Amino acid sequence: MNPTFTQSQLTAIADALADTSEGLSGSEIAHLLTTCKMSDPSPGITKRHRLYNAFVESQNSRRDRKAILAFIRHSMKPELYARNPDRFEPMRANLNRALAFASLSVDASGTLSSGDKATTLAEAERRAQDLRADLVKRGVHPDVLQFCKAELIADNYFHAVQEATKSIAAKLRTRTGLTDDGGTLVDRSLGGDLPMLAINALKSESEKSEQRGFVNLLKGTFGMFRNPMAHEARILWNMDKADAEDLLSLASLVHRRLDKAIMPPRV
């Protein structure tokens, strides 16, 4: 017998794909249903109910879930989000929380596959509590601890690390008033002979070298985890708890140095 999704799984998947703020638009749903040769039995209702009804009709008529899987694959092709890349990762995270209960997931390349995923919300919550407890013992910065949440690590610890990395960028913007992101933000806030923020007095060559090293550390961290699109790191790295603890400890170190950073007087 061909496997099918349960009613609750279909509801969760439709809700994720048609999320009001981060999901597919009505026109995108129409296009994808046509692409996957699926009927659109109720186009005039809310997006999530529209998509749920299309999924139910397809699965009931075909007696399998192949068309629904095809819809997921088409909807999660990274190239579709080239003009608005910030949509991709939040949408993928929402979808993976739903797919976890069907032992499926979509990776950062858009590939749909089976795997060992959380089967209950309790399991995801246990992972989060264990991670947080270990980090508390390490004395990790409180701005990092808030990313030890079940919804972030339901399918992989990578999301907690990625969100913690985003918090570093947010702190740089708060301290400097800049609106940039990634490497540009690091260069403008911490780079140059007279940076906006300095982690030491910049009096000796050793201190200046430490500042340059800190800049390179942050730019490397952003390059590996900040970009929401399909990095090699995410595709190849099935991050476990030990990896996450080490990387979140690194984020903690960065936060502490930024908290103590000074704004050198402008001459």
CA torsion, ordered 15, 67, 114, 3, to nearest 10 deg: 100
pLDDT band at 119 (very low <50, low <70, confident <90, very high): low
With 60 as the cut, is the pLDDT of residue 231 above it? no
Task: Give the residue-averaged pLDDT of 16-42.
Answer: 93
Mean pLDDT of all residues in the chain? 87
Contact 161, 247 (CB under 8 A): yes
> Which residues in the chain belong to E strands, given as ranges?
104-106, 112-114
pLDDT of amino acid 82: 86
With 50 as the cut, is the pLDDT of residue 126 above it? yes
C-alpha distances out from residue 222 to 13, 40, 68, 177, Å: 30, 41, 35, 19
Query: How many residues comprise the chain?
Result: 267
With 90 as the cut, is the pLDDT of residue 18 above it? yes
Question: Three-state DSSP class for 147?
Answer: coil
Whole-model pTM: value is 0.57
pLDDT of amino acid 150: 74
pLDDT per residue over 136-190, tens digit each?
A: 989 999 999 888 887 677 767 888 888 899 899 999 999 999 999 889 999 999 9
With 50 as the cut, is the pLDDT of residue 228 above it? no
Maximum Cα interatomic distance, the chain, rounded to a whole number of Å: 76
Where along the chain do its domains lie?
7-114, 123-260
